[in-house]
Structure 1
Amino acid sequence: MADKQFEFTKKLTQVPDAIFLDKSNFVIDPSQIILETSDRHKLIFNLIQWLAESPNRTIKSQRKQAVANTLGISTRQVERLLKQYHDDKLSESAGVQRSDKGKHRVSEDWQEFIKAIYKESIKNKHPISPASIVREVKRHALVDLKLKPGDYPHQATVYRILDPLIAQHKQKTKVRNPGSGSWMTVVTRDGQLLKADFSNQIIQCDHTKLDIRIIDSNGNLLSDRPWLTTVVDTFSSCVVGFHLWIKQPGSTEVALALRHAILPKKYSEDYQLNKVWEICGTPFQYFFTDGGKDLGSKHLKAIGKKLGFKCELRDRPPEGGIVERLFGTINTQVLEDLPGYTGSNVQERPKNAEKEACLTIQDIDKILASFFCDIYNHEPYPKDPRETRFERWFRGMGRKLPEPLNERELDICLMKEAQRVVQAHGSIQFENLIYRGESLKAYRIHLTSKKILQAS
């Protein structure tokens, strides 16, 4: 298994893009998209996405005109929508987002004044009603500031400013800590409360730099500590998958960790695992991560669209408590007694960690695989010690293991996609090399107009 993962990592590192060419890429009739979409905002998004996926300039120009005709707008407006799409400002459900969306068009002083009144009432444990705050705003404007009617925030504006604060307070009252109670809950960056009702419904992912120094295969000390990416099930807190890196991971590395989580684990005998690591499968609904560029990238969103899950960013660090606690457990139960351990406490760091380092990244991989598979996943579930983490996961899966995906098809889904122009004679330039195939000749660009221009 380790050899296969290393080989796949090498492939993705050297060739990060994949070429996808089929007949659908060259279709210029948007009728199928129109038939499949009833909501106008979703129609606009799908048409612009279809335009953005054009394989070459000729098809793109034809699709641009087709989109303009379909929506009844000019091609210039289509170009603006395309720019909004590339800038991640085109929403599938709300059309083009305004640049000031989410911002209140009143002065910051008034916003701070309104928020301060409500926060002070919360601090005093006597939440004030929005209507009372409206009256206080009016009194402050007319009496203290001597303003004229209409020169201070309207009551609707006051309510809009207070809405997120009130929702946050209600949420904290209902769920004091993420994951408390009988249901595991997380909060997304847009304030949505997600409950894990079964296994693999909400899968969490995060990175950490391990507190240990390692060496390479030649015995030389590496300049930096290794990075660990973990994939954890929210419902059971089981570790579904993980991967180690010698550099800070990006979206490609996250895809590889997700691959390890989705596929059944097959470790060689030298890993000396005592149990079978049966936990696997794709996220059913959500892939929950922090706001890092690698974890919130278009690459992962594209993977989610293919595999049927949605990528969500967590509201604040405590929302990733399951993963963060796991990192602390790894330090105290796994790394602390190993040579090269640097310590998590800055004031008490071992002085000879660099001199004592003698483990390679492959050694750490075997140690962590043994810990996750044989120990951690079979420990009592913290919130209900009557069953282990694995037993809870298995029960949450309906007491059956998920159907394994085709490994080759999964590899293709996890790779980054890139558009390439099919040139004359059916050739494609990729990674500074030119590839030519008979099957690509049907997709070559007609260069007649270009030749005419050159001749003139």
Structure 2
Amino acid sequence: MKEVEPVSPTLPLAQVNTLAAQDGQPVHRLLAEEIEDLDKRRFVMRKLDAIEDIIQTSDDLKENKIRLWADRLERHPSTVKDWLAKARQDGLTAIAREVRSDAGRLKGNKRWKHSLQYWTEFILNTYNDGVKAKLGMTRNMTFKQAKAHAELELGLKWDEYPSHDFVYRVLKPIIEAENRKVRNPGQGPGIIIKVINDEGEEEDIVVERSNQVWQIDHTRLDNLLADEGGGLTGSVWITAVIDTWSSCVMGYYLSFDSAGSHEVALALRHAILPKQYGPEYQLQKEWEAGGLPEYIVTDRAKEFKSAHLKHVASALGIKLRRRLYKEQGGTIERLFLALKTEFAALILGFKGGSLQERPDQPEKYACVVFEDYDRKLVRHLVDHHNQHLYPRVANQTLSMRWQAGLPGFKPRMPESERSLDICLMKSTKRRVQERGCVEFRKLIHTASVSRDEEGNWQYDKTANFLKAYEGREVMLLYNPTNIVYILVYSLEKNGQPAEYLGTIRARDWLSERLSWREWEAIKKKIRDEGNAIDESSILAEQRDLYNDSIKQVKTMRGRRRKESTRLTKASPHSDKVVELHPPQAASANPTKSKEVESQVETAAPEPLESAQEQVEVQAKPPLSKSKEVESQVETAAPEPLESAQEQVEVQARPALYVVSNWNEFVEDSW
């Protein structure tokens, strides 16, 4: 094939076709075939077919032909018209060309207030500094930093600084080198949500207003938190509540433990109630979202099927439903993705959502405590997420859309905050102590305090409503995130429901907030500091007291034995006591004992029973002889007891125990 000379794109279409016809094939077709990417080549060829077909069509049918090719190519008709105008002006080779002549070069804008080099360096430095600080930097985060610098610090307008696309082009080589992949969260639930109820029946919910359908889900945030001492406490779980109609965040709850039905109930309570935050949160907008929803849609996790959550929903008049398809949870999944890329990635201690995203040794950078993290999260949800523009409506933020979608522009609120006490996480029983006090977690709570005119807490005897309940048990309901205030209920009795009595406050805690986890850490710190003190003197004193008491007991017992022996010997009845087996009995008559031993050795072995019978027979003399012995004892002079003892020992086996003092033996044994 003969080589085709380069054709100037500025030649008229007729001249281009004439030069291409000399070789028998149009030049633009040759240029399209040189594209290496197969998908791009196929698309360019279809564009050329479309332009040629439209050019050959009559003027009456040209509009229909443009719309037809726009549907085939999945482009807007105006885009096809732009291609057609470009082909008429520059020729079909301009359509077939793969890249522009100035492609790859960064170009600025003449309306920018600073040079191209200034903005390029700012974008690169911002991104690199964030990466060095182990933050999860992305292109979108870098653009927001550039936008904040231009509008807040330089006072520039939207067209006087680089656009979103320019920042992406600057960072494209770096991002491609790192091979980062961004997950697509899906398209969201749309207007109709397919759900199932507890009976397994399918249902279609048409979302038409705010507070109609709320979605609840939870995830683990990608930050490592620290305690006040600098030690790691791990990452937290967030249970978020979001409105489907406006994508506005209604409420949340943070917990170190994996979320369950109690955490879901606390997040729901926070979403329903009005929200008020102090100046330490540095909020620029108000968190006005609240009210009661009609439906709560969740996934099929076990915590959403619990009896506790069903009881809460039934008490508040809310219908529980579960998503039929996983893809319909895109609204809340986009929130979690935004929390990861726009919030967690900018907090020190960012550990990433996977091993591929995890920075090196993120625990070294963990220095944010739970309270600071909670304040940062509240500001992000109120001043950042809820102020985003709603994508389907122009000039309307998520918060504005929620307000506009309310029936009558007012949310449906519960009768009182007491009706939401069922959502509190924990309940326990306590006995009311003296003066109407209740001990809870080593804290003394009382109702005998009230605020004075200056706002300080002072003792108020008249405010003690627990005085009448001294010695009786009551039910306590509390939120683990703040145990300074506890709700008190009476116990159910005889089928009567519990009655709300009032709120008690921690007597010795001046601050308005104290979480259960903080209080446990404080108590542990007190115990550790107490263990670090030298207590050797205390232990030595306790040891000496014990040892002295043991010695005194032993000495006293010995004295008692000696005294008992002395009194026994000094008693007038001691001479009449017969000692059964004196220690001298065995050696009193050695000749007889030797004869007995020789008889035992020489005698043939007999059964045990016969031997015992023989011993008994030998030990008991005949009846006539015993009478003679008795008469002899009565008439004769008293003989020593040793002879009688020797006679018994000769006739029977020696005793196993020899007792010298019977009183002492009885005292020790009994």
**TM-score of the aligned structures, taking structure 1 as reference length:** 0.51
Taking the aligned partners of 1:442 and 1:344, their CA distance within structure 2 comes to 51
State which of 405, 424, 443 in structure 1 corresponds to 2:494.
443
State which of 187, 195, 199 in structure 1 corresponds to 2:195.
187
State which of 244, 248, 268 in structure 1 corresponds to 2:278.
268
Alignment of 1:27-176 (within 5 A): none
Q: CA deviation at 1:411?
A: 3.4
The answer for the alignment partner of 1:13 in structure 2 is: none
Q: Partner letter of residue 217 of structure 1?
A: E
State which of 257, 263, 279 in structure 2 corresponds to 1:247.
257
Q: Partner letter of residue 385 of structure 2?
A: Y
Q: Partner letter of residue 348 of structure 1?
A: E
Classify the secondary structure of the residue corresponding to 2:242.
Answer: strand
State which of 319, 327, 337 in structure 2 corresponds to 1:310.
319
State which of 219, 244, 255 in structure 2 corresponds to 1:234.
244
Q: CA deviation at 1:267?
A: 0.7
Equivalent residues of 2:387, 2:398 under 8 A apart = yes
Q: CA deviation at 1:298?
A: 1.1
Q: 1:309 to 1:352 in 2, by over 3 A?
A: same
Equivalent residues of 1:263, 1:407 under 8 A apart = no
Measured against aligned partners, the alpha-carbon deviations of 1:156-209 in whole angstroms (never above 9, x if no partner) come to xxxxxxxxxxxxxxxxxxxx96533xx253434743222211101111000000
State which of 394, 403, 411 in structure 2 corresponds to 1:394.
403
Classify the secondary structure of the residue corresponding to 1:231.
Answer: strand
Q: Partner letter of residue 212 of structure 2?
A: Q
Classify the secondary structure of the residue corresponding to 1:385.
Answer: coil
The answer for the alignment partner of 1:450 in structure 2 is: none
Taking the aligned partners of 2:390 and 2:216, their CA distance within structure 1 comes to 19
Taking the aligned partners of 1:288 and 1:202, their CA distance within structure 2 comes to 7
Q: Partner letter of residue 343 of structure 1?
A: G
Equivalent residues of 2:189, 2:329 under 8 A apart = no
Classify the secondary structure of the residue corresponding to 1:405.
Answer: coil
Q: CA deviation at 1:372?
A: 1.1
Q: 1:365 to 1:338 in 2, by over 3 A?
A: same
Taking the aligned partners of 2:311 and 2:189, their CA distance within structure 1 comes to 28
The answer for the alignment partner of 2:622 in structure 1 is: none
Q: Partner letter of residue 187 of structure 1?
A: V
1:210 lines up with 2:221 in the alignment: yes
Classify the secondary structure of the residue corresponding to 2:422.
Answer: helix
Q: 1:441 to 1:261 in 2, by over 3 A?
A: closer
Q: Partner letter of residue 381 of structure 1?
A: Y
Equivalent residues of 1:178, 1:184 under 8 A apart = no
The answer for the alignment partner of 1:353 in structure 2 is: 362
Q: CA deviation at 1:287?
A: 0.8
> Which sections of structure 2, spanning at least 5 residues, go unmatched?
1-185, 430-439, 441-470, 475-489, 496-670
Count matched residues. 254
Taking the aligned partners of 2:309 and 2:424, their CA distance within structure 1 comes to 10
Q: 1:435 to 1:291 in 2, by over 3 A?
A: farther
Equivalent residues of 1:198, 1:396 under 8 A apart = yes
Taking the aligned partners of 1:408 and 1:276, their CA distance within structure 2 comes to 20
Taking the aligned partners of 1:229 and 1:441, their CA distance within structure 2 comes to 32
Q: 1:370 to 1:186 in 2, by over 3 A?
A: farther
**Could you say what the CA RMSD is over the residues aligned between the two structures, in angstroms?**
3.1
Classify the secondary structure of the residue corresponding to 2:254.
Answer: strand
The answer for the alignment partner of 2:267 in structure 1 is: 257
Q: CA deviation at 1:282?
A: 1.3
Q: CA deviation at 1:332?
A: 0.8
Taking the aligned partners of 1:201 and 1:231, their CA distance within structure 2 comes to 13
Measured against aligned partners, the alpha-carbon deviations of 1:41-96 in whole angstroms (never above 9, x if no partner) come to xxxxxxxxxxxxxxxxxxxxxxxxxxxxxxxxxxxxxxxxxxxxxxxxxxxxxxxx
The answer for the alignment partner of 1:196 in structure 2 is: 207
Q: CA deviation at 1:435?
A: 4.4
Equivalent residues of 2:187, 2:330 under 8 A apart = no
Q: CA deviation at 1:405?
A: 3.3
State which of 199, 206, 220 in structure 1 corresponds to 2:231.
220
Taking the aligned partners of 1:247 and 1:402, their CA distance within structure 2 comes to 32
State which of 331, 338, 343 in structure 1 corresponds to 2:352.
343
Q: 1:418 to 1:242 in 2, by over 3 A?
A: closer
Flag as ranges the 4+ runs of structure 1 deviating above 4 A.
415-420, 434-437, 439-442
> Which sections of structure 1, spanning at least 5 residues, go unmatched?
1-175, 421-430, 445-456
Give the structure, 1 or 2, with the largest relative contact order (CA under 8 Å, sep 6 or more): 1
Taking the aligned partners of 1:297 and 1:389, their CA distance within structure 2 comes to 31
Taking the aligned partners of 1:440 and 1:227, their CA distance within structure 2 comes to 33
**TM-score of the aligned structures, taking structure 2 as reference length:** 0.35
Classify the secondary structure of the residue corresponding to 2:193.
Answer: strand
Q: 1:219 to 1:401 in 2, by over 3 A?
A: farther
Equivalent residues of 1:204, 1:323 under 8 A apart = yes
State which of 353, 376, 384 in structure 2 corresponds to 1:367.
376
Q: Partner letter of residue 362 of structure 2?
A: A
Q: Partner letter of residue 294 of structure 1?
A: E
Q: CA deviation at 1:379?
A: 1.0
Classify the secondary structure of the residue corresponding to 2:321.
Answer: strand
Q: 1:272 to 1:240 in 2, by over 3 A?
A: same
Indicate the percent of aligned positions where both proteins have the same amino acid.
36
Q: Partner letter of residue 179 of structure 1?
A: P
Taking the aligned partners of 1:419 and 1:307, their CA distance within structure 2 comes to 22
Taking the aligned partners of 1:258 and 1:206, their CA distance within structure 2 comes to 11
Q: Partner letter of residue 217 of structure 2?
A: D
Equivalent residues of 2:348, 2:368 under 8 A apart = yes
